[in-house]
Homo-oligomer: A and B are copies of this chain.
Amino acid sequence: MHTNLHNPDSGFSSLLQASALFCERDERVLFSGLDLTVSAGELVQIKGSNGSGKTTLLRILCGLNEDYEGDILWKGESLSEERENFLSSMIYIGHRVGVNRILTPRENLRWSASLHAPIDDNRIVAALGRLGLRAYEDIPCRNLSAGQTQRVALSRLLISPACLWILDEPFTTLDVHGVKHLESLLSEHVNAGGAVILTTHHALNVSCQWRALDLDSRRAAA
C-alpha cells in the first residue's frame, strides 16, 4: 500500500501544527507564544544555542513531554485524541537513540519495526547495508563504535512507514560520509512528500524545501 502523503481526503497539507506553546523549566522561560507548522514536503530545522530548548520542544511535539501550555494539532485534530494515528505516522530519534547494547543491529531493528508494523528481514538487512553496516548485522551493539550505534538508530528511518521524522541532533558522531548520506536521505524523504523536524548545530546541506526556526532570535525579539 503506497499511500500518498498529501492525503486528498483530509484536505490538510499541514501535518503538525503547534500554537502558542509555552514552556518553562527551573523557572526559566524557554519559549512562549511559539507557533510552528510543519507541512508535508518540508524540513524544519530548530536552531538555537545550547540550552535554548530545542530538545524540550521536540519532546513536546512528539508527546513525550507534557509539561507545557498551548495546543498541538495533528492534521487539524487535537493531538491527544489522534494519538494513535499520530504515533503510527511519526518516528522520533532522540539524544538517547534507543539501541539495546546486548542485541545485534538486526534484532534491534526487528523489534523497532514490530512496534509499528513488522517487516521482513531482507528490508532490515538492506536498511543496515545502506547505512554502511553491512557485515555488522549480527554483532552485539555494545561492540560498535559511537558512530556505528548512531547509524543503527538511523536505519530505523529506512524501515519505518512514518511520514513525520523528528530527529534530535541526528548528525552526532557521524563521519563525513555519514553526514552526506543522512542529508541525502532527508532530502529524499521530504521530496517524496514526507516531513522532517530536526535539530543540529551543523550547517545543513539538503536539496529540498527547508526552513529554520531559531529559538535564540525569537527570544532576543521578545
Q: Known contacts A172-B172, A173-B172, A201-B173; is A144 also within 8 Å of B179 by CB?
A: no
Distance, CA A81 to CA B201, complexed state (A): 43
A90 at the interface (CB under 8 A from B): no
CB-based contact A95/B146 at 8 Å: yes
Chain B residue nearest to A179 in the complex (CB): B201
Q: Which residues on B sit within 8 Å (CB–CB) of A114? A: none
A137 at the interface (CB under 8 A from B): no
CB-based contact B132/A146 at 8 Å: no
**Cβ 8 A contact of A50, one of B48, B55, B139, B173:** B173
CB-based contact B148/A51 at 8 Å: yes
CB-based contact A143/B26 at 8 Å: yes
Q: Known contacts A26-B139, A172-B173; is A51 also within 8 Å of B201 by CB?
A: no
CB-based contact A173/B169 at 8 Å: yes
Q: Known contacts A172-B172, A173-B172; is A147 also within 8 Å of B178 by CB?
A: no
Q: Known contacts A139-B26, A179-B201; is A51 also within 8 Å of B173 by CB?
A: no
Q: Known contacts A95-B146, A146-B169; is A177 also within 8 Å of B26 by CB?
A: no
Q: Which residues on B sit within 8 Å (CB–CB) of A10? A: none
CB-based contact A49/B177 at 8 Å: yes
**Cβ 8 A contact of A147, one of B25, B50, B144, B174:** B50
CB-based contact B51/A147 at 8 Å: yes
Q: Which residues on B sit within 8 Å (CB–CB) of A150? A: 50
Apart from A26-B143, A179-B201: 12 A-B pairs, beta carbons within 8 A? A25-B143, A26-B139, A48-B175, A49-B177, A50-B132, A50-B174, A54-B145, A95-B146, A147-B201, A173-B201, A175-B201, A202-B202
Which 3 pairs, one residue from A and one from B, show the smallest C-beta to C-beta distance?
A50-B147, A51-B145, A49-B175
